[in-house]
Amino acid sequence: MSSLLLGVDTGGTFTDFVLFDGAELRIHKVLSTPDAPERAILQGIRELGLEAAMQAGEMTVVHGSTVATNAALEGKGVRTLFITNRGLGDLLSLGRQARADLYDLQPAPMPVPVPPALCLETGGRLGADGRVVEDLDTADLDALRAAVAEREPEAVAINLLFSWLDDRFERAIEAALPEDLFVSRASRILPELGEYERGITTWLNAWVGPLVARYLARLAAGLGDSRLAVMQSSGGTMAAQQAGDEAVHMLLSGPAGGLAGARYTGTAAGRTRLLTFDMGGTSTDVALIDGELQLTSEGRIGPWPVAVPMVDMHTIGAGGGSLASVDAGGLLRVGPESAGADPGPACYGLGGTQATVTDANLVLGRLRADAFLGGRMTLDVEAARRAVAALGGQLGLDTEAAAEGILAVANEHMAHALRVMSVQRGIDPRDLTLVSFGGAGGLHVCALAEALGMRQAMVPTRAGVLSALGMLAAPRARHLSRTHLGVLAEMNAETITTLMDALAAEGRRALVAEGLAAEHIDVQRTVDLRYQGQSSVLNVPWRDGPQAAAAFHDAHRARYGHALSAPVELVNVRVVCRGPEGRLPLVLPAVNGAALAPERVRVHGLVAPVPRYARDVLVAGQEITGPALITETVSTTWLAPGWRARVHASGSLLLAFGGC
């Protein structure tokens, strides 16, 4: 087992590092290099002094990558063929009837995922009962080989009807293709009902898979003999060798690490019901944690549905680097465009001239020019003021008023996203703790809590690099599923259990191959249920048929406000195989005598200077009354007037409106 553990989260603006040497944690940040993300990772490893350990194989790196996400969002996947049954070549283009804007009678056409020239139709069709409707013969395979040779793709996606019942035809097509092709087979990637969702997911895996595989190969080569694991969208990790073949499981790799970190630090602080927002340089991710991470199989990436399990979150284009502008109607707009890492906000001094959220915080004094990245990077206050003043000139506002306007608009965007994940799902946010992380989250946590009427908030320890920390806490895991359709009351429970046992055995084998001891692997079994006639499902734990049905009725009542007398239908069985969670030191020394007196700094809008505390010298039990600034190497927390903070023994700041 490697003696050093390094969590690495590649974001749009910064690449974050958390190192655990077996005794204590160290953190680090470098600017990302979007054109080649591995450059920033290797730079950070050098700056941490880990080159010798890396080359000697004394380190395990757990990585959250944006390569798959960016390729999908930017439409920069590889040339991919889509192979399906005769008559279904336009399946991915037709999609579902649902419209993004219900009352828009002339919606813009959706982008076509695969051009018609790259859609191939063949035999090998099954019926809904699993019987062969059209065989796959030698002539079909010869025709496919010739078509593939003519079109010269880098990847192939195979999606035949009802292949989740019997995958022999998909396997035969895969075997007939050239060995150097990246092949994504639906019966392996997503053996579930729903030909469109299964097809899109399989195509996405093929479309970005070669890019991810090549990137991971470059990174692994740069890491020498060190081990490389990758964060999955579902909140668990897997070895990099398997991740390249299953790139679709990495689409929310970084954000999943943040939620794993939020859950870990929240549990350590005694807070398990959390509403989280991860505010980085480019975007903000919002999610709900109720003891465990909430997963969905109805996620999306850009316009595409992604039916593999992933953390259930809502993402908006509001981050520290979000650009502020004036629209054609003369109104202030913030995001979704971002300054990114290059040129970055105006205050970075790298050539950016347009005002951002970070510039606004700096102008108002909530972000300190000499405390950014622990003083390793000094922010240019005058450049920020020039950028914000130029915007204010267009709005008829002075510089500080324009900065306040930028923050107000950005906060409203994030408050709306928080309501989507709470109020719009029938959950009262006042019953939850608002958890902020990411480099910019602590600057906005009090304002967002007040916007939602919440009186409790938390800023985790090392919040600015929490995604990287979460990757060290996250367990090795595999999520497996299979459609097994029928009315639950009419099905044999032993048959369902046997199917789950087979999936569990597959998951255990994969984790044991990665070095986990079989006795340390936990198995969770759940089922997707719906009322007969419905299309959407709810996931509940599996014990036996009657107990699962009762749990489904309760879940339906909680989500939709009612339960029905209609028969309950089983759709999918799901198994999660998971290793133990990482154990990280999150303990601070207790209060011993008088705490260090803080310096005082000016913040716009307040007559008297406010205290500025260095977070790394705070001690457990210490209390701070707002207004105050709490600065640390990778983030800053603005404790607004009316708020108090108590330092928990785990290092997290527990915030309360009106008292601790």
Residue 546: Cβ within 10 Å count: 12
CA dist 185 and 204 (Å) reads 11
* 444-458 per-position pLDDT tens digit: 999 999 999 999 999
- Lowest-confidence pick of 100-109, 352-361, 368-377, 494-503: 368-377
Closest CA to 278 of 479, 9, 73, 68: 9
Task: Please check whether residues 197 and 82 belong to one and the same domain.
Answer: yes
Claim to verify: residue 487 and residue 606 sit in the same structural domain: no
Assign 3-class secondary structure to 363-424.
HCCCCCCCCHHHHCCCCCHHHHHHHHHHHHHHHCCCHHHHHHHHHHHHHHHHHHHHHHHCHH
| pLDDT band per the 50, 70, 90 thresholds, residue 591 | low
- Structure-token pair, residue 53: 């350990």
Q: Are residues 58 and 138 in the same domain?
A: no
Residue 99 maps to a domain: yes
Among 253, 282, 308, identify where a domain stops. Answer: 253
Q: CA 118, 122, 124, 126 torsion: positive or negative? A: positive
Query: Are residue 218 and residue 197 in the same domain, yes or no?
Result: no
pLDDT band at 660 (very low <50, low <70, confident <90, very high): very low
Closest alpha carbon to 142 in 172, 110, 116: 172
Q: Are 5 and 62 in contact (CB under 8 A)?
A: yes
Whether 12 and 39 map to the same domain: the answer is yes
Sequence-ordered strand ranges (E) for 294-368? 295-296, 299-301, 304-306, 310-311, 313-316, 322-326, 332-338
CA distance 297 to 481: 11
Same domain, 525 and 641: no
- Tell me the mean pLDDT in the region 190-206: 94
In this structure, is residue 490 part of a structural domain?
yes
Answer yes or no: is 344 within a domain. no
Among 86-100, 491-505, 604-618, where is mean pLDDT lowest?
86-100
* Co-location of 647 and 536 in the same domain: no
Mean pLDDT of 207-211: 94
Q: Judge if 125 and 236 occupy the same domain.
A: no
> What count of Cα atoms within 13 Å lies in the side-chain half-sphere of residue 387?
31
If asked whether residues 173 and 238 sit together in one domain, one would say: no
Q: Are 5 and 472 in contact (CB under 8 A)?
A: yes
Domain co-membership, 43 together with 86? no
Q: Residue 489 — φ and ψ, nearest 5°?
A: -65, -20
Token pair of 273, please?
Answer: 């019901």
Mean pLDDT of the chain: 91
Tens of pLDDT, residue by residue over 100-143, are 777 888 888 777 899 999 999 999 999 999 999 999 999 999 99
d(CA 415, CA 451): 7
Verify that 23 and 135 share a domain, yes or no. no
Tell me, yes or no, whether 91 and 53 share the same domain: no
CATH classification at residue 558: 3.30.1490
- Record the tokens describing residue 491, joined without a space: 């099905």
Domain that holds residue 28: 4-72+213-253
Q: Counting beta carbons within 10 angstroms of the beta carbon of residue 406, is it exposed (0 to 12), middle (13 to 18) or buried (19 or more)? A: buried
Q: How many domains does the chain have?
A: 4
Last residue of a domain, one of 578, 612, 637: 578
